[in-house]
Structures are given as structure tokens and as C-alpha cells.
Structure 1
Amino acid sequence: MHDKYVSSNEKLRRAALAEYAIFKSGEDKDYDQLTFLAAKICQVPVAKISIIGKNKIWYKSVYGTEQAEIPRKNSFCEHSIYAGEEIFIINSDHHPEFFEYSREIYGQEFHFYAGVPLVNAHGHAIAVFCIFDTKVRKLDEAQKKALMALANQSMNLFESRKQKTKLQHVQRKLKQKYKDLEKFASLVSHDIKSPLANIISLTELLKDENKKNLDEQSRQYLDFLVESSYSLRNYVDGILSFYRSDHILEKDFEDVHLPSLLKKITDLYSLEENVKISYPEKGQLKNINKAALSQVFMNLISNALKYNSREVRKVDINFNTTDTYYCFAVSDNGNGISKNDTEKIFQLFTTLDAQDRDGNPGSGIGLATVKKHIDHMQGSIEVISEKGKGSTFKFKIKRP
């Protein structure tokens, strides 16, 4: 008898079958390989994976015949799912009535049948893994175990495809929600930036036209108002940039000459005073997301220079490889980060009590974007830093 409970509720059984989305889902080589093995191991001419519908039986895989579907009534498979046996085996010499009914159904004369019900976790038999022979025969213990093992693998395949279908559905919904969120962020940022621009321009105009009428404290208040408006505008830009960064992750993968990539990025900062950036002279990267890696380096280098109050600002980039990763390190002689803050700096919207060279606070978005890109490239990032002595950001990405 079956170790598992087998439900006799037909309505629930059909509902369970519908969850697998396999009704007439076409040929599949994975299932075909299982029926082929069953026929060869058990030395029978026909093997099938039979899906039990409401009134019909159709086949996910068939070996040895071209039969498409049959009526369910009086079929061997219908008897299998309600027999309560781990393997339902019958021969024509002991049960001639079964084979007389089935001759017309199957369109050929069989004298042996063995079927293993494919039962899900809730006890619903959604299908039968079965074999047929045109002569009376028996299965030895090894053949029975092999047939049950192949049936179990068939059920595992059904479960795997079911979970894959669910995951694809969830991914589609998440992708749509993310698009809606990106659209919302874009609209909100536009609606916020327009009045911000008016606040900044009107405040500057108020300062210019009332220079003689305003005392020092009033002018300082207006300066604070302008500074806060610029900070809010940068924050809104950062939010929009974070959500739009997913488009970078969808870029094609390509081979990259690392020195050429870094030269284009570091040239952007060459006009700034007292900036020294060094990077490797060699390095070839295979099949990577060039746009995402470029964004990572741009954010790390930009932060290294912005949060650096030294007279000569230095950034040193190193590169090495392992069997599975491309490894990078971006070091600077900047202001550094306290040990209490090194764990949280990669969290979105997490800001420290630090200001850049121009006195502006961070938005808490740049390093979160860096981590998102590196995670997508199947890598990781960490920071080693000491307050007042600079930082080293070490990260690695998966290599092909």
C-alpha cells in the first residue's frame, strides 16, 4: 500500500492538477528521457506519463506508441490512482475483464500493465507513470524499484516546473511594480524639483535686491534656505538615479580592457586640483557588465575625492583575479569612516554625519547603488577604514 495518503476527492484532485499548468503543454525531452529509461529497464515496448483529466487521459510523454489521448473511463490509469497501491500491476491471465475493456480504448492489445501514481504533497494523484507489454509478464524487485524511482523523478520535475512557473509570475508582477515605482519616482521628483527651483531663484533674488535692508542674521537664514533647497534637489536626483540604475543592469555583457575603462573614468577628474589617481596598467575582463562596473568605479572614486579634505587627494586602484572572481580595491587618503558606520553605509538612505569638501551632506544613495550593482554581478563589497586615515573599498565580481 501507499505510504502517502491518497485523496479520493476528484474536485480537489483536478484543482491540484491545474496548479501544475501542464495540460497539453507540449513535448519535453526531460520527461521523454524518463519514459525511455523505464521501457529499457523494465524491457517493455511502451512507457507513458499519463495525465488524468476530467474525462480524458493525455500524455506528457510517450515511448513506443503515437497515441495522443484516450477516454478516462475504464482506463488502466483511472484504476491506478484509486487502487491504493504503490505500484498497480495487472496481467490479462488474472484480470481478463480489464484488458477486454481496454482493447478498444488503447487501440491495441496489451496483456500487462504497471502504473505508479504521481501523488503531490496533499495526496492528490495528478498523473500515472506507467508501462505496458503485449504479453503476460512480471517485474523483478530491481525493476520495480527503478520504475518507482523514475516515477519519483517525474513528480519532482512537475514540482520544479510548477515552482518555476510561480516564480516567473512573481517576477513579472515585481517587474511591473518596479516600473510603476520608477514612474512614480520620476513624477514626484519632477513635481518637487520645479518648486525647489523657484525657491532657490526667488531666495537668491530676495538676497540681491535687499542687500542693504537685511542684517547678517537674515542673510544667513536665506543662505541656509538656499543650501537646504540644493540638498533636497540632490536628494531627489539621487532617488531617481537609484531607481533608474536597473536599466544599467540590463546592459549586454562584453569583454573589457580594465586600464582603458579606468582611464576614461579618471580623466573626468583630471581637471580638479591636486588629484592623483593611479590604476593598473594591465587587466582584461571577460564577459562582464561594463556599464554597471563603470558606475561602481565612478561612485567610489567620486566619494573618495569628495570626502577628502587633504591638500593632495589620492586614489589608488588595485586589481587581481582568483579562479572565480575579479577582485578590486579602491583606496584613498580621505577623511575615513568610523568602525561603527562601516556596516550601514551600503544601506539605502543611510547618511552619516559627514559633509563633503563643499559642506554638503550625503544622500545615502550612491553606495547603495554601488552595492546593488555588485550584488547583481554576483559579487560582494566591504570597506576597511579608520577615521582620519582614509578608506579602502574592496569588492569582487563573478568571472565567467
Structure 2
Amino acid sequence: MIAAGKPDNEAARQEALLEYQLLDTLPEKEYDAITKLATQVCGAKMSTITLVDNDRQWFKSTYNLAASETIRTEGFCAHCILDPHHPTIVENTLKDERFQGNPFTTGEFANFHFYAGVPLLSTEGLPVGTLCVLDDRPRSLSPEQQESLEALANQVVQLMELRKKVFQYQESEEQLKRINQNLEDFSYIVSHDIKSPLNSITQMVEAFVEDTECTWSTESQSCLDLIRDSATGLEQMIDNILKYSKAVNYLESDRKLIDLNTFLPGIVRSINTSPQVQIVISPDLPSVFSSPTALRQIFANLVSNSIKYNDKSEGRIALSCRQMGSEEYKFEVSDNGMGIPKDKLESIFDLFYRVNQSSSCMKHSSGVGLAIVKKLINDLGGRIEVESAVNEGTTFKFYLPSR
């Protein structure tokens, strides 16, 4: 008997095997169905799905075989993985020097006189185990049987990969939960440890300004105004950062059917509109299935931006929505404002980005609103586009799935 050695990439192979988290798991009918089918297709007595561990061969599934594992040095599959790109077919183990004297060939359990195994390869091409059929008499496989065994081995790999993806998804979900918790902790710290001192500063400045017994010089008054404006601006920026950090939580609320004919006017009423700007909402809007909290935040940011950056004496903002086939809805928010230069369009959704920081209307802009909009739309499974011309206006188009 010649015991199978270990391949040069054994460490990487073992790591790939452990990623599937299959060792020592309970039987599963999907794998058992494949071993049963393998024996039927190949006309064999026995079949196993074998994972080659460090010192053992562990059977994820067996057909007509009572064992659950064997020592690796005595195993047939340990030889099979040494040639990962070809099946290992031994028509008569009694005549193969690798298996002469093997306890499963000539010893106490001498009933494995035929072996055919196909390596199970990970996505990196590493052999983690085999699908094999065995018989108690010497024999051979037809080309069709060998092809079928290889196809079944591929099905085993697909099951294993699906399992790995499920675990990866679960790990990602846990990671997202931890991130969300960190964001909540961050929000708490910002709200209590930063905003509270800011509020105190603002209130103290207001008290100084309103103190009728104090006479402030022009320079002192300017300093107080600067402190107040800076504190107010910083407080607004913190509020916007908090909105961005909490944006993902909007999607946790139940999505529901939203009648846009009443929903959009409600949003417009809640915004401080300018008398110079007219907001027009298209009639006969559809009802959409989405997160009302997220959709309200999206429209509030887009409409507020259109108002803030409208430099026309007669400003106009148009809101619309229509269904595009059966798969998605198309929303539009367009205005006739100052517009955005073409070379800035790719950056406007970046966090803290401001188109023209020297502009007077940018003084109280945090560069967070459009980042929130894009984040929410992406998390809802949609996408957003923008078209703009300087001095003519801007149109934001975003698409959300209909279900």
C-alpha cells in the first residue's frame, strides 16, 4: 500500500475546505440524493461525498456505506485529490500498487475492488474532496457514466458554493447590524456630547445680544454675530451628518403603498418655500410601493435644493412621476435655477461636496443633502441621474423598482 501524500498547496486547500463549514454537519437530503443517483447512473454498489480533512476523510453523504469517516492515509479519495483536474478511476484495486494491502482492499473490510472519484474543486480550483462510486468487484465505467459522474460532482460543488454564500450573507448581515449600532452610538454621542455645548454657546450669545443693559461696539457686535452664525452653521452640519448616518434605518420601516397625489403636496407644505418660487405637481400621479420615510427625505432634499439655488425672479419647480413598464417608476424634480456646470455633475453626490463654496447660497450648505438622496435611492434598489445647464436649470431623475 502506498499512502497518499499531501499536495504542495495543502494549507490553502484546508482553508478553502473550512470556508464551506461542512465538516461534521448532519446529513442533508440534497447531498444524499446525489450519492444515490451516482450509484444508479454508474451501476455501482456504493457512493460517497468525501471531504478530505487534515488527517481524515469525512463523508458528508454515503449510499450503502455505514462508515462516517476513515483515516486519510488509508483513503482512496486522498489519492484522487492529488490529480485535481482529472477523475481517478481504478478498475481493479487488487492490481493497483497504491491499494494493495489496504485494509479496504485486502483486509478486514476488503470489499472495495473498484473506485471512481471526481475531485470537488473550490472556486479557486482547490480540491476539497470527491464524489466517488465504489464496487465490490473489478469493473469499468462507460464514457457516458464517467461524464454523468463528473456532472453530479459539479452539482455537489454548486450546493457547497450556495452554502458558503449563505454564510457569507449572514456574516455580512451581522456586520451591517454592528455598523448600524455603531452609527446609533455615534448619533447619540453627537446629539448629547457635541450639540449640547453648541446649544449653550448659541443661547449665551443670544443672551448677550438681547441684553439691553450692555452697549456693544460695532466690532464686538460683529464678533458676537460671527460666533452665533458659526455655531448655527455647525449645528446644521451636525444635523445633516446625523441624517446621513441614519439614512439606512429609513428602510427598516415597512414599505407601503403611497398615494403620490396626497403625499407630494404634504411634503411641499412642510418646506419653507419662497414666494418667488412656484412648485407645480403633475396631476394623476400613480400610487407607488416604497418606504414613505425614505421617499419623503429624498423629495425634501431635492425640492429644498431647488429652492435654495434658484436665482430667478420667477422660479419654477416641477415634480412628476410615471410608471415605466411593469418594473419601475420614474420620478423627476426639475427647476429653472442657476444650474450646475458639467464638470461638477459627477461630484455632486459626494459627501460634503459643494459646487461653488464661494457662492453666497453655499454659506450654510453642508454638502450632505444629495449624498443622503443617492444613498437612500441606492438602498431602495434604484438609481439617480442628473441633467443640468448653467443659468437654465437642473433636472434630477430617479428610478425606483415597482415592487
TM-score bracket, normalised by the shorter chain, equals: 0.7 to 0.9
Q: Which runs of 5+ in 1 are unaligned?
A: none
Question: Which residue of structure 1 aligns with residue 402 of structure 2?
Answer: 399
Question: Shift of residue 94 of structure 1?
Answer: 4.5
**TM-superposed deviation, 1:239:** 0.7
User: Shift of residue 92 of structure 1?
Assistant: 5.2
Structure 2 partner of 1:71: 70
Q: Does 1:372 align with 2:375?
A: yes
State the distance in 2 between where 1:85 and 1:37 align.
22
Q: Does the CA contact (< 8 Å) of 1:334 and 1:388 recur in 2?
A: yes
Matched, 1:351 2:351: no
**Does structure 2 conserve the Cα–Cα contact (< 8 Å) formed by 1:378 and 1:397?**
yes
Structure 1 residues 13 and 343, CA gap change in structure 2 (3 angstroms): closer
SS in 2 for 1:241: helix
Structure 2 runs not aligned, ≥5 long: none
**SS of the residue 1:342 aligns to:** helix
1:154 aligned residue? 156
Cα 1:27–1:207 change in 2 (3 A) is: same
2 CA distance for matches of 1:68 and 1:254? 54
**1:334 maps to which residue?**
337
1:283 is the counterpart of 2:282: no
CA apart distance, 1:65: 3.4
Following the alignment from structure 1 to structure 2, what is the Cα–Cα distance between the partners of residues 192 and 374? 29
Note the alpha carbon deviations across 1:171-195, whole angstroms, 9 max, x for none.
Answer: 5335424532441343034322222
Q: How does 1:1-400 map to 2 (within 5 A)?
A: 7=7, 14-28=14-28, 31-32=31-32, 34-54=34-54, 56-62=56-62, 64-65=63-64, 67=66, 69-72=68-71, 74-81=74-81, 86-91=86-91, 94-95=94-95, 101-102=103-104, 109=111, 111-120=113-122, 125-133=127-135, 135-155=137-157, 157-159=159-161, 161-162=163-164, 165-166=167-168, 168-169=170-171, 172-173=174-175, 175-209=177-211, 213-269=215-271, 273=275, 275-286=278-289, 288-310=290-312, 312-323=314-325, 324-352=327-355, 353=357, 354-356=359-361, 361-400=364-403
**Is the contact between residue 7 and residue 124 of structure 1 (CA under 8 Å) also seen in structure 2?**
no
Kept in 2, the 8 Å contact 1:182–1:240? The answer is: no
Please state how far the C-alpha of 1:389 moved relative to its aligned partner.
Answer: 2.9
Which moved further from structure 2: 329-338 or 389-398? 329-338
Deviations 1:114-154 (A, max 9, x none): 11233557786421111134554321123223323432443
| TM-score calculated relative to the size of structure 1 | 0.82
Further displaced range: 144-153 or 78-87: 78-87
- C-alpha distance in 1, partners of 2:348/2:93? 77
Q: State how far apart, in whole Å, the 2-side matches of 1:29 and 1:272 are.
A: 67
Q: Does structure 2 conserve the Cα–Cα contact (< 8 Å) formed by 1:207 and 1:222?
A: yes
Label 1:106 to 1:335 Cα distance change in 2 as closer, same or farther (>3 A).
farther
Quick one: percent identity of the two aligned structures? 32
Superposed CA offset, 1:209-238 (max 9, x none)? 368732334323322221111111000111
What is the deviation of 1:157?
4.5
Give the SS at the match of 2:17. Answer: helix
* Distance in 2 between residues matched to 1:252 and 1:46, nearest whole Å: 52
- The residue matched to 1:256 in structure 2 has which SS? strand
Residue 341 of structure 1 aligns to a residue in which SS? helix
Between the aligned partners of 2:83 and 2:241, the Cα distance in structure 1 is 62
The one-letter code matched in structure 2 to 1:385 is: S
| Secondary structure in 2 matching 1:114 | strand
Give the Å deviation of 1:329: 0.7
Mean Cα deviation higher: 152-161 or 329-338 = 152-161
Distance, in Å, in 1 between the alignment partners of 2:237 and 2:253 is 26
- 1:14–1:224 distance in 2 versus 1, CA, 3 Å: closer
Any conservation in 1 of the 2:94–2:100 contact (CA below 8 Å)? no
* Cα distance change on mapping 1:256 and 1:67 into 2, 3 Å: farther
Matches of 1:23 and 1:294, distance apart in 2 = 49
Q: Measure how far apart 1:348 and its partner are.
A: 0.5
Q: Is the 8 A contact 1:7 1:125 kept in 2?
A: no
Cα drift, residue 206 of structure 1: 1.9
Task: Report the secondary structure of 2:74's partner residue.
Answer: coil
